[in-house]
Structure 1
Amino acid sequence: MLKTSMKLLPLLVLGAVSGTASAAGFQLLEQNATGLGNAYAGSAAVSENASGQYFNAANLADLEGRQFSTGVNYIELDSTFNNSASTNPLGRNNLAKSGVDGGDAAFVPNFYLALPLSKDLTFGFGLNAPFGMRTAWSKNWIGQYYATITDVKAMNFNANLAYKVNEQLSIGGGINYQKFDAQIETALNGRPLGAPIPDGLLSVAGDSWAWGYNLGLTFKPSAATKIGVSYRSAVKHELEGKYSVSGFTAGTVAIGAGVYGLNSTSGNAKVNVKLPDTFIISATHQLNNKWELLGDISRTSWSDVPELRVQFSDGSADKVSKYDWRDTWRVAVGANFQATDAWKLRLGLAFDQSPVKEGLRTPRLPDQDRVWYTIGAQYKLNKGSNLDVGYAYVKAKSAHGDETSANPAVTGRLVGDYDSSVQVLGVQYSMNF
């Protein structure tokens, strides 16, 4: 059964992850359900099962025997645009302005394996989705000439080694081979081509494979306290794919493409994306035989994503969306309560800073600072297996957007507020074998 699961999991991860970001930017923290109930507080210092290696490879050194862990998180984004001062584009006076929903939902699975190679050396493998986001705004909304669909997702294969130097110190590291897929769609106003020509659609899609690495260590200053430090590198992707212009009437497709700066109605396109690095410092402390406290601080280098630039092989001018994002900090605290030998209860609270600066917010990512409220539980099924469940409600601050283009008569001006929240429900099964 384990061999069959390992063969199927890459297909499940790639097929299921449409991506619905719950962390800032388009980062997915939901790499297991074990930490969800604690809002991922203490993530780089928690080694309850094989899934802890994602946040710190050194966590593998604390595991006993062969283990695997697999789970899934259901992530549901609710994002609503409420108009305040938007203006209509040329000839399009009936577009929806308020109460428009751009949210979506996705299942995000994961799989982890831990195999001791010797008394002090452990190999680990993980399959997960560290980045993902999908916003899907309906056609005929006031911002359709800025964004309709944005869908990005990453599938990550991660091989790790951990070495226990002594009872206090462990070190670990790994390599990552990552697939990144992106699809972007934007409506094109057909009115400038003449009445009653319908709107067109610009679609760009591509994918890429790239390498990265991760490093970490854990230190135990006392029997009750554990400190974890980890670093996950940036990954540079060069996505290659296709673009197409469709939707205009047959005789005006080529004209429409030219009006919007494209030399043809289809062709090859390329997008360079650098996914940011992440640094985490975590700590756990066992107060007594019932209570454990957890906390961490993490930093993500979102300033590595200054813009989204689509380059066309046919010589068409680049399509550029300026982001100018900033680096972000995340702070999380949590507690575990061992209610009985079989039941462990979890609580968590986190603050997650947004990389988006005021004045540069777009409907592709209407991001804002957010707060995580989480609960969870672990049930010991038997001596060698556990079941974890977790729930998170993530509430973002109201996010104001004011976007215009070089030709607002064609695209309109988009001014209003985005109200967003995320709900996450996770389940994780872990066992020794």
Structure 2
Amino acid sequence: MKNSAIIRFVIFSCWLLTSQAYAAGYGLIEQSASAGGNAYAGGAASAEDASTVYQNPAGMTYLPDNQLVIGAHAILPSASFNNNGSTTAFGAGTTGNNGGDAGDLTFIPNFYLTNAITPDIRIGLGINVPFGLKTEYDSDWVGRYQAIKSELKTTNINPSVAFKANDQLSLGFGILAMRAEASLSSAVDFGTLCTGLGLGCGTPQSRDGVASIHGDGWGIGWNTGAIWQINNATRLGLAYRSQVHLTLDGNIGFSNVPSALATSFPNGNISAKLTTPDSLSASLFHQLNEEWDLLADITWVGWKKFKNLTVVRDSGSIAADTAENWSNTIRLAFGANYHYNQHLKLRTGIAYDESPVSDTYRTPRIPDNDRYWLSAGANYKLSDDNSIDIAYSHVFVKETTLNKTNDASVSALKDTLRGAYDNQVDVFSLQFVHSF
């Protein structure tokens, strides 16, 4: 009953907490504080603790009979925009400030539990937040007609099973039950619409309204993995996570609509399709000697399927449609562990995280670009059964330019946002590990 209460609490917490995307795209790689110290190198092979339920379920066969992991990540991003000649649909300069810092402090929880059924068969449960984003600008910023607030929250419930096929090969499989909730808002330049239509209900940029879209839904996927123990010192891991197809149902609403335009901007029900990407990871763990471990990882992510962000009314008309045209990506990571003594293990790692977003299709909702990770962490054994992990990562984001003209927006006005972002991220991770 205690475990059931913990699980319910963690699910509730995951639904409440918002998240900013800190891996490429809107992915969240922050699923383990132990792996975080290595910049997530070797995750599919290291089988460090019960967080392997997410990294590679086959790794459960390397753990003690039963293990509980509770972790959290404090993520502090900075995303500052500098305007450089943004214009309205009719070529006039767009008024407004630079939007402030679009990033905000966020907390991401993780929960993992594993149990030995037999010496060769393990089951596990993971509850985590594998995808998410949040950007929020000042309501009167220069890019308000393209984005004010963008938020995606997910919660993933991941039951898994693993077994040892023989002394060298372990296999694992899991089910992904994912809930997603999304909210989008942007300003609508009703003043320019009134002027262009000759309705006399406002002047350009003088009568803004706000369009708000919200939706949520569930989807099902799966993950699988294998670990091959080459020898006592070296093992290889391979892990795959499937796509999850979700339909988000919700509503669209407008504020401050002039009466002359009321019939053109009705509130109503909407839906949107969201497909999370599949991924394939290959990892290496090598115990160099009694003091040093070496880790490496390459991960492919199938972002190419994200072609459009389309919101459709119940009537079948398009409420919003933004071309995304993302590309598949590769993430490379290398790490090392130093066993200082029987109680303390030190970690470090570096990574290159490729962005799926090109300069042509970058939007202020996800002003993403290539990033470089520098990480450090430690594990300290409090006793034979308990330990804690801490980790810190600084993420350097490549200078990011933006030159985006609205697609089929809620107002159909083709304003253009031009400028550049200065982005960076700090990630602080902490987890408690209990074996029993």
- Scaled by the length of structure 1, the TM-score of the pair is 0.94
- After superposition, residues 343-358 of structure 1 pair within 5 angstroms as 343-358=344-359
- Assess if the C-alpha contact under 8 Å between 1:190 and 1:256 holds in 2: no
Q: How many Å apart are 1:105 and its aligned residue? A: 2.4
Residue 414 of structure 1 pairs with residue 417 of structure 2 = yes
Out of 232, 235, 241, the position equivalent to 2:241 is 232
Compare 172-181 and 317-326 and name the one that shifted more. Answer: 317-326
Out of 230, 234, 255, the position equivalent to 2:261 is 255
Q: How many Å apart are 1:86 and its aligned residue? A: 1.7
Go from structure 1 to structure 2 and tell me whether the alpha carbon gap of 1:283 and 1:340 turns closer, same or farther (over 3 Å shift).
same
- What is residue 76 of structure 2 aligned with on the other side? 76
Deviations 1:290-344 (A, max 9, x none): 1100010000000011110000013433421000000000000000001111111
- What is residue 324 of structure 2 aligned with on the other side? 323
- What is residue 189 of structure 2 aligned with on the other side? 189
Q: How many Å apart are 1:94 and its aligned residue? A: 7.4
Q: How many Å apart are 1:112 and its aligned residue? A: 0.4
Q: How many Å apart are 1:102 and its aligned residue? A: 1.4
- After superposition, residues 30-109 of structure 1 pair within 5 angstroms as 30-88=30-88, 95-98=95-98, 100-109=100-109
- After superposition, residues 225-374 of structure 1 pair within 5 angstroms as 225-248=234-257, 252=258, 255=261, 258=264, 262=265, 264=266, 266-374=267-375
Instruction: Give SS of 2:31's match.
Output: coil
Residue type of the partner of 2:233? A
Instruction: Give SS of 1:204's match.
Output: strand
Go from structure 1 to structure 2 and tell me whether the alpha carbon gap of 1:155 and 1:257 turns closer, same or farther (over 3 Å shift).
farther
Residue type of the partner of 2:38? N
Residue type of the partner of 1:319? A
Aligned partners of 1:297 and 1:42: how far apart in 2? 8
- Assess if the C-alpha contact under 8 Å between 1:88 and 1:142 holds in 2: no
- Assess if the C-alpha contact under 8 Å between 1:232 and 1:277 holds in 2: yes
Aligned partners of 1:98 and 1:377: how far apart in 2? 39
- Assess if the C-alpha contact under 8 Å between 2:182 and 2:215 holds in 1: yes
Aligned partners of 1:335 and 1:132: how far apart in 2? 29
Instruction: Give SS of 1:9's match.
Output: helix
- What is residue 428 of structure 1 aligned with on the other side? 431
Aligned partners of 1:120 and 1:9: how far apart in 2? 28
- Assess if the C-alpha contact under 8 Å between 2:402 and 2:417 holds in 1: yes
Instruction: Give SS of 2:185's match.
Output: strand
- Assess if the C-alpha contact under 8 Å between 1:90 and 1:409 holds in 2: no
Instruction: Give SS of 2:51's match.
Output: helix
Go from structure 1 to structure 2 and tell me whether the alpha carbon gap of 1:51 and 1:82 turns closer, same or farther (over 3 Å shift).
same
List runs of 5+ in structure 2 lacking aligned partners.
195-200
Aligned partners of 1:85 and 1:409: how far apart in 2? 21
For these two proteins, the number of residue pairs brought into alignment is: 424
Q: How many Å apart are 1:89 and its aligned residue? A: 6.1
Aligned partners of 2:131 and 2:171: how far apart in 1? 25
Deviations 1:136-155 (A, max 9, x none): 01111111000111000110
Residue 5 of structure 1 pairs with residue 6 of structure 2 = yes
Aligned partners of 1:168 and 1:385: how far apart in 2? 28
Residue type of the partner of 2:366? L
Compare 404-413 and 344-353 and name the one that shifted more. Answer: 404-413
Q: How many Å apart are 1:215 and its aligned residue? A: 0.8
Instruction: Give SS of 2:34's match.
Output: coil
Residue type of the partner of 1:362? T
List runs of 5+ in structure 1 lacking aligned partners.
none
Instruction: Give SS of 1:6's match.
Output: helix
Give the root-mean-square deviation of aligned CA atoms: 1.9
Residue 203 of structure 1 pairs with residue 181 of structure 2 = no
- Assess if the C-alpha contact under 8 Å between 1:246 and 1:253 holds in 2: no
Go from structure 1 to structure 2 and tell me whether the alpha carbon gap of 1:268 and 1:147 turns closer, same or farther (over 3 Å shift).
same
Aligned partners of 1:100 and 1:69: how far apart in 2? 37
Go from structure 1 to structure 2 and tell me whether the alpha carbon gap of 1:157 and 1:82 turns closer, same or farther (over 3 Å shift).
same
- Assess if the C-alpha contact under 8 Å between 2:401 and 2:419 holds in 1: yes
- Assess if the C-alpha contact under 8 Å between 1:230 and 1:281 holds in 2: yes
Aligned partners of 2:351 and 2:316: how far apart in 1? 46
Residue type of the partner of 1:426? S
Aligned partners of 1:100 and 1:292: how far apart in 2? 43
Deviations 1:217-254 (A, max 9, x none): 00011100011000000001111111111133xxx257
Q: How many Å apart are 1:93 and its aligned residue? A: 6.2
- What is residue 157 of structure 1 aligned with on the other side? 157
Compare 95-104 and 274-283 and name the one that shifted more. Answer: 95-104
- What is residue 231 of structure 2 aligned with on the other side? 222
- Assess if the C-alpha contact under 8 Å between 1:245 and 1:253 holds in 2: no
Residue type of the partner of 2:220? W
Q: How many Å apart are 1:166 and its aligned residue? A: 1.6
Go from structure 1 to structure 2 and tell me whether the alpha carbon gap of 1:66 and 1:91 turns closer, same or farther (over 3 Å shift).
same
- What is residue 127 of structure 1 aligned with on the other side? 127
- What is residue 395 of structure 1 aligned with on the other side? 396
- Assess if the C-alpha contact under 8 Å between 1:89 and 1:409 holds in 2: no
Compare 155-164 and 194-203 and name the one that shifted more. Answer: 194-203
Go from structure 1 to structure 2 and tell me whether the alpha carbon gap of 1:318 and 1:87 turns closer, same or farther (over 3 Å shift).
closer
Aligned partners of 2:394 and 2:339: how far apart in 1? 23
Aligned partners of 2:256 and 2:345: how far apart in 1? 55
Deviations 1:64-122 (A, max 9, x none): 21111011001122111112222256799673344732112211001001011111100
Aligned partners of 2:219 and 2:406: how far apart in 1? 33
Aligned partners of 1:39 and 1:156: how far apart in 2? 22
Go from structure 1 to structure 2 and tell me whether the alpha carbon gap of 1:303 and 1:91 turns closer, same or farther (over 3 Å shift).
closer
